[in-house]
């Protein structure tokens, strides 16, 4: 099976939900949970029949899920949330910063972490914000509902996904 192919999964409202690998996609198809909207040219052969692995599927039922809780808190995802921009000076982000440093009791959580550049990270060091001349562009928040769309768009999406990502 070709593992390079990935499938965009849309909610029943056509809002993008996630991207899955072929194994997960086939499992959704076999359990009749999704309908294919765009097929790839790659075939999956089961014992009984063969069918194309979809590039885009839509769920047959509506999923309501607290997505923010499922998004791993890591550097890549902080970068996606913050659009790869240093939240102190707007230049390209190169690292992440704990606003209240861990050494000063700051938590490792979405609202205390921002993407930042190396220069700002050095200036900030283990100081509190008011002890520096830095200010935040905006207060960091939990990832929004469209986090997955941002994540998908930043990961070289399949051209076949484009029109479904735009409707979001």
Binding region for Zn ion (CB under 5 A): 86, 88-89, 117, 120
CA distance 20 to 108: 28
Nearest one of 70, 44, 43 to 142, comparing CA atoms: 70
Nearer to Zn ion, 97 or 148 (CB): 97
Nearer to Zn ion, 45 or 133 (CB): 133
Q: How far is the CB of 114 from Zn ion (least distance, A)?
A: 10
Q: How far is the CB of 122 from Zn ion (least distance, A)?
A: 10
What backbone torsions phi and psi does residue 40 show, to the nearest 5 degrees?
Answer: -90, 180
Nearer to Zn ion, 78 or 120 (CB): 120
Residue 123, Ramachandran bin (φ over 0: left; ψ between -120 and 50: alpha; else beta): alpha
Exposed, middle or buried: residue 117 (CB in 10 Å: 0-12, 13-18, 19+)? buried
Nearer to Zn ion, 88 or 164 (CB): 88
């Amino acid at each position: 099976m070709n593992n390079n192919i990935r499938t965009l999964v849309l909610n029943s409202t056509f809002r993008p939900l996630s991207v899955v690998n072929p194994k997960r996609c086939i499992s959704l198809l076999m359990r009749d949970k999704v309908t294919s909207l765009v097929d790839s040219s790659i075939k999956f052969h089961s014992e009984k029949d063969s069918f194309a692995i979809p590039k885009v599927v839509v769920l047959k039922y509506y999923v309501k899920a607290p997505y923010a809780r499922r998004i791993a808190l890591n550097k890549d995802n902080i970068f996606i949330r913050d659009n790869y921009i240093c939240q102190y000076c707007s230049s390209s982000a190169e690292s992440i910063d704990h606003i209240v440093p861990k050494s000063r009791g700051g938590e490792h959580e979405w609202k205390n972490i921002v993407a930042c550049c190396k220069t700002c990270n050095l200036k900030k060091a283990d100081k509190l914000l008011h002890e520096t001349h830095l200010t935040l562009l905006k207060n960091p928040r939990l990832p929004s509902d469209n986090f997955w769309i941002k994540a998908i768009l930043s990961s070289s999406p399949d051209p076949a996904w484009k029109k479904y990502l735009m409707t979001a």
